[in-house]
Amino acid sequence: MNSGLAGLTIDSIRAAVAAGETTATSLAELHYAQIAEKDSAINSYLSLSRERALAQASRIDEMAARGQGLPPLAGVPVGIKDVLAMQGAPATAGSLILKGYRPPYDATAVSRLEAAGAVLLGKLNCDEFAMGSSNENSAYGPVRNPRSTDRVPGGSSGGSAAAVAANLAVASLGTDTGGSIRQPAAFCGVVGVLPTYGRVSRYGLIAFASSLDRVGPLTKNVKDAATVLQVLAGQDHLDATSSERPVGNYVAGLEKPVEGLKIGVPEEYFGEGLDPEIRAAIEKVLDGLKDEKCIAKPVSLPHTKYAIPTYYVIATAEASANLSRFDGVRFGLRDGDAKALADMYRKTRDAGFGAEVKRRILLGTYSLSAGYYDAYYKKAQQVRTLLTRDFLAAFADVDVLVAPVTPTPAFRLGEKTDDPVKMYLEDIYSVAASLAGLCGVSVPCGETRDGLPIGVQILGKHFDEETMLRVAQAVETEQGRQAGMASD
């Protein structure tokens, strides 16, 4: 292939492998060489699955040599966030407490990617148990933003976003609990999709907050994201929360015009605290959509101010329940010096969990305790309903919402680690959609004066990924047109 790694897309790879212009094996080896050369400065990969990847690449090459029709992701190098199970590969969830654990099975999202021809390069770094907004909470060191290595890539799927941005994978899987796909996608200048809750199976995902966790793709462009989502989406009998609703044709839907679509602009997302350069970039996106004959309308989501506290009550409560299984008995780390069972639990968890995970377990256990359940957890679930109703009321009058993903561009490593509240507020524009179960996508829409990426967030109705992605495609096309004009 003539293009470098930066120019690789799913379509170009599949076409080149089918035509014999390259092989899946050579593409995999090329990416492994790139990882060896560049990832020491980024730290996006925690482990590599070279044997499995090359065996899959060989199967794809044999199919191409026989002239067989190739599956949709044939030969595409993909990285997997290390909270998803891959048979035989380490699954650390970025934590010491799972050191040495190798699952005996694949997550459904992983098996669907491989069945579609993807070549799985390895497992990607992340905040411990997906708890964080900067990827500084990993027990295996922080990930650095490829666009500026003194800055964070976002979290918790920082490794997933950084690997794609640095051309160490063509696509990756991340997970989003309160913004953990969309925010790192915005910080690293890639596309990241949050599917509707229930659209993609969570089977094989190491749980953080079960009513919020979702698996989704990060890619270089919208069409690639639509292609990967098409492979991932659909009911799974191994996940009782996966939806029976039929899956749309996301790729074909990208070709439909956006003319006449109603674009909601939530006033609460454009208030105090939003970086002026981000505001200007989002306003430019809205102007471009108006040029495509979309209709922009102001909408109100009045309970948005309660989204952060609501999220951090519900998410930590669910985390305290989910993480109780990590006790040193069944898998992972065990303290060998303990003299009694309770002592072994305590010492194992103290050594295995990091500071942020301990903080969230304590918060969640407190809000679920006998004297505080009604005041905190029950009340938070009631406010969650109000937040969802806000979105439903807005979507009664508009097709999608357009808003910032983050209040600031990527911040410097260490800048917010000493102030958890400041770190939590990085999720201010992303957690409400997570609580409501909506779909969303972050699309690059410009850069700051310092060259840092800016992302725009497009939120869609439940199970209407098709319209959401169609608007995302229009935004990406306009960005490409503007970039072309600037280069001329």
Whether the Cβ atoms of residue 363 and residue 228 lie closer than 8 Å to each other: no
Identify the burial level of 78 via C-beta atoms within 10 angstroms of its C-beta, where 0-12 means exposed, 13-18 middle and 19 or more buried: buried
Nearby residues of 159 by Cβ (< 8 Å), 6 or more positions away: 43, 44, 45, 46, 79, 81, 82, 124, 125, 126, 135, 143, 153, 172
Catalytic member of 95, 157, 180, 320? 180
Report how far residue 153's alpha carbon sits from residue 133's, in angstroms, rounded to the nearest whole number.
9
- Cα–Cα distances in Å, from 410 out to 135, 143, 165? 12, 12, 14
Catalytic member of 134, 156, 430, 442? 156
Q: 167: left (phi > 0), else alpha (psi -120 to 50), else beta?
A: left
Give the pair of three-digit tokens for residue 48: 């590599």
- Residue at token pair 């009058």: 397
Q: Compute the Cα dihedral for 488, 471, 119, 100 and give only its sign.
A: positive
Report how far residue 232's alpha carbon sits from residue 476's, in angstroms, rounded to the nearest whole number.
22
In degrees rounded to 5, what are phi and psi of residue 391? -65, -45
Whether the Cβ atoms of residue 141 and residue 63 lie closer than 8 Å to each other: no
| CA nearest to 321, candidates 252, 268, 389, 367 | 367
- For residue 138, indicate whether it is catalytic: no
- For residue 156, indicate whether it is catalytic: yes
Report how far residue 435's alpha carbon sits from residue 459's, in angstroms, rounded to the nearest whole number.
13
SS3 254: coil
Q: DSSP per residue over 197-249, as a string?
A: TTSB--TTB--S-TTT-EEEEEESSHHHHHHHHHHHBS--TT-TTS--SPPP-
Catalytic member of 47, 49, 81, 223? 81
Residues annotated as catalytic (active site), given as ranges: 81, 156, 180
